[in-house]
A and B are shown apart, each in its own frame.
Chain A
């Protein structure tokens, strides 16, 4: 896909590099130097990024089990079987894959809006000229983003343990906290239970069947309680980064605009809604789409905190592909899941670059939109 572009330069022969002394003219000299300068990066990215993708594409069409080399004639070629098993054949593979998609969709549906609103809220407060000590708070909000995902997962594992800090805090308000990482109940199911639905015996109309190997009841579970703690961790770590992006955008909103609307008698909410928000719309798009892209890549936290448990409710496509390949030694299926995930992420990335390009004034456009990198914050 997008990476194909690398193929041409990566495989192109480097110009003959020996006779590059002076006398050949600066142009030839620059050509040689140019290719020599980029050579290490091309070799490393080609060898460890492009080539492996092609290799994995091949493996996803085979039944390789990790023994020997996947590139010999002995490995059974199965064509698109690994892919069709994920979508059309009823079985454990499809059920697991669909479960992971469901989990990740709910995860996205909560993380993206929450982190965006939180990041914008924090940016608005930190951007307030009348408050002192904002620098400290900005640093504090951003700090979690730079720490190791594994190290911070350890901390949250402790905080969300059944007699941990979070449940202690909830107990102060008289709430009996759940057993976070052992609780596979879906949040939507719990909500339905609150409204009087008997969740132990869900309506037969929902449990009787459903699309793609999961029952309607399963599809409508919402994120599990265990997934909610991973969501809490991710929102907590990423909001700071997005806050900084909003902050940069807010600082580009001309003060006169705000003052003019104040003169016109606009309320604070009106000013935010009709002055600030339109001005930071490009950043809003950026934050939303980066959030979407990032959310489909959640892996470290799942690996450290839950390994897909309880009852597969924290399984995500990224983790499932890892598990299928490295635990079940079904590298073909694992690679196939990776490529489906790749496709999902690429769709969002293309959407993002297209949206951002649309928003740029016509005069600022150079080259086709997919080539331009996202500029943000102005």
Chain B
């Protein structure tokens, strides 16, 4: 339920909002909208600028960076993205990595989540504690460690190095475990009594009931691996294996040569943002669920 924080203090009774008119309510409502619109601009205008400037010519972008309207409209930036950079390659790599990582996480995390929620075996409690502990390990301190292990295993600078370490994540296991604990046991028990194996019960009875959690996990994995930057930084150095964020970072650090080339860079960043933006618009409530569940990540 929403909490009305905006009722005038002098109201004689806790009246319903639609009854307390009066100048004060009107004024505070006006202020409320003004603040909302102001922050709406603060949070969205950078994207407007990004879109506008990616269609500008370079001199226009340099002279009128604040204006959202390109004059003249120029596709030069986008043409150069596809002809002058390795963007298509990065896009392909990102797609491949994202699809594999998402599939892996959804499958492995739900398997483990189910076992931790439902199957009784020795060491389960300790395992779960370990998963919780692992969630607290900050990603940035793993940069050098990951490089070391990939190097040692001989999969540095390969697709395997890019994908395999990301195939499971502790937070996903946690989400799935919490969800499986929330669905009733009775259905599974019926299946088990009918003689279905543990995997069969999991696969054809439990998993179909876990659709909301699976969607959440799919979206989080997609978003996470699509945006993943530090891992690609320490797992590959061959430009043929760059993912979009890695390629983008490379573009910015000036491998292009002359000029700022902002329309090109902004355009490339825009194209890299679109898939997650579309996903966000369609599946917004699943994103929100994640934030409300209190993610441990910074």
CB 8 Å contact bits of B171-190 with A (1 = contact, 0 = none): 00110000000000000000
A236 contacts B43, C-beta separation under 8 Å: yes
Cα A304 to Cα B254 in complex, Å, equals 11
Known: A259-B14, A303-B229. 18 other contacts (CB 8 A): A31-B120, A33-B119, A40-B108, A128-B5, A129-B17, A131-B29, A133-B36, A147-B276, A148-B244, A149-B227, A154-B265, A158-B50, A236-B43, A255-B4, A268-B9, A291-B298, A293-B296, A321-B140
Residue B148, interface by CB 8 Å? yes
Contact of B164 among A6, A44, A150, A322 (CB under 8 A): A44
Of B74-82, B131-139, B210-218, the one with at least 4 CB within 8 A of chain A: B131-139
A150 contacts B249, C-beta separation under 8 Å: yes
Cα A64 to Cα B135 in complex, Å, equals 29
> Which B residue's beta carbon lies closest to that of A305?
B252
Main secondary structure of the interface of A (DSSP, over half): helix
Closest Cβ of chain A to B210, distance in Å, is: 14
> Which of B64, B272, B294 is most buried by chain A, counting CB atoms within 10 A of its CB?
B294
> Size of chain A's interface in residues, with CB distance under 8 A?
134
Cα A229 to Cα B47 in complex, Å, equals 17
B142 contacts A130, C-beta separation under 8 Å: no
B226 contacts A148, C-beta separation under 8 Å: yes
B9 contacts A267, C-beta separation under 8 Å: yes
Within 8 A of B (CB), among A159-176: 159, 161, 163-165, 168-169
Of A86-94, A189-197, A339-347, the one with at least 4 CB within 8 A of chain B: A339-347
Binding site for B on A (CB under 8 A): 2-6, 8-10, 12, 22, 26-27, 29-31, 33-35, 37-38, 40-42, 44-45, 47-53, 55-56, 59, 69-71, 122, 124-131, 133-134, 136-137, 139-159, 161, 163-165, 168-169, 236, 238, 240-241, 244-245, 248, 250-251, 253, 255, 258-259, 262-263, 265-268, 271-272, 276, 286, 290-291, 293-297, 299-300, 303-304, 307, 318, 321-322, 325-326, 331, 334-335, 338-339, 341-342, 345-346, 349, 371, 373-377
Closest 7 CB pairs of A and B: A294-B298, A52-B145, A34-B121, A37-B115, A48-B165, A33-B198, A259-B14
Q: Which residues of B contact A130 (CB under 8 A)?
A: 4, 6, 17, 25, 29, 32
Q: Which residues of B contact A146 (CB under 8 A)?
A: 223, 276-277, 280, 287
Subset of 18 A-B contacts with CB under 8 Å: A2-B133, A8-B126, A49-B137, A56-B144, A70-B148, A127-B5, A128-B32, A144-B43, A148-B269, A151-B270, A154-B252, A157-B252, A158-B266, A258-B3, A267-B9, A290-B296, A293-B138, A373-B135
Closest Cβ of chain B to A44, distance in Å, is: 4
Q: Which residues of A contact B116 (CB under 8 A)?
A: 38
B119 contacts A34, C-beta separation under 8 Å: yes
Cα A201 to Cα B119 in complex, Å, equals 70
- Given A129-B6, A155-B49, A322-B143; A161-B260 close (CB under 8 Å): yes
B43 contacts A339, C-beta separation under 8 Å: no
Closest Cβ of chain B to A45, distance in Å, is: 6
Contact of B62 among A22, A31, A163 (CB under 8 A): A163
A244 contacts B5, C-beta separation under 8 Å: no
B46 contacts A38, C-beta separation under 8 Å: no
Q: Which residues of A contact B227 (CB under 8 A)?
A: 147-151
Cα A297 to Cα B230 in complex, Å, equals 11
Closest Cβ of chain B to A344, distance in Å, is: 10
CB 8 Å contact bits of B1-45 with A (1 = contact, 0 = none): 111111101010110010000000100010011011001101110
CB 8 Å contact bits of B247-273 with A (1 = contact, 0 = none): 011001100000010100110111011
Size range of the chain B interface in the assembly: 35 or more
Q: Which residues of A contact B25 (CB under 8 A)?
A: 130
Cα A299 to Cα B168 in complex, Å, equals 23
Cα A322 to Cα B140 in complex, Å, equals 9
Closest Cβ of chain A to B226, distance in Å, is: 7
CB 8 Å contact bits of B105-122 with A (1 = contact, 0 = none): 000110110111001111
Closest Cβ of chain A to B156, distance in Å, is: 11
Q: Which residues of B contact A40 (CB under 8 A)?
A: 108, 111-112, 167-168
Closest Cβ of chain A to B15, distance in Å, is: 10
> Which A residue's beta carbon lies closest to that of B149?
A52
Q: Which residues of A contact B65 (CB under 8 A)?
A: 158-159, 161, 163-165, 168
Cα A30 to Cα B167 in complex, Å, equals 24
Closest Cβ of chain A to B252, distance in Å, is: 6
Cα A145 to Cα B44 in complex, Å, equals 12
A296 contacts B138, C-beta separation under 8 Å: yes
- Given A27-B120, A125-B32, A255-B1; A334-B248 close (CB under 8 Å): no
